[in-house]
């Protein structure tokens, strides 16, 4: 199965987000990091808007380089601020809570910030 990674990696560039998701998921389960640049391109293109973009972010969290980490930080800082992270507990008990992804964004935002993560 692992030797089939080359065949699977061709689906990273697929136009279908579910094909991208499956390809990246399988490569992650095989711990195959040979396609980090292609996966970074998926994240840069899709960001958090598609399932392919979100799994690309998760893959980059696990197998990231410093450059990949910077791209992710820049993108997530456009979606959530430190004030929003601090008010998250109140947000989710509010009847107007509509964006469940905020918890994921908060995790990514505070990943390298110990003080923010403790709040």
- Distances in Å between the Cα of 40 and the Cα atoms of 21, 25, 94 are 13, 14, 35
**CB count, 10 Å around CB of 56?**
29
Give the CA distances from residue 80 to residues 68, 74, 99, 102, 103, in Å, rounded to whole numbers and listed in that order.
19, 11, 11, 7, 10
Please tell me the predicted confidence (pLDDT) of residue 24: 95
The structure's pTM equals: 0.77
Which residue do the tokens 């690309």 mark?
A: 56
Tens of pLDDT, residues 48-77 = 899 999 999 999 888 877 777 778 888 888
Least confident of 34-43, 87-96, 102-111: 87-96
């Amino acid at each position: 199965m692992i030797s089939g990674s080359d065949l699977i990696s061709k689906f990273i560039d697929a136009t279908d987000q579910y094909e991208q998701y499956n390809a990246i998921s399988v490569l992650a389960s095989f711990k195959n990091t040979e396609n980090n640049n292609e996966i970074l391109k998926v994240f840069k293109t899709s960001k958090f808007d598609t399932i392919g973009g979100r799994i690309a972010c998760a893959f980059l969290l696990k197998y990231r380089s410093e450059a990949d980490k910077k791209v992710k930080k820049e993108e997530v800082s456009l979606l959530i601020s430190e004030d929003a992270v601090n008010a998250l507990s109140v947000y989710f008990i509010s009847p107007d809570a509509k964006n469940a992804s905020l918890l994921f964004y908060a995790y990514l935002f505070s990943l390298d910030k110990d003080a923010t993560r403790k709040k």
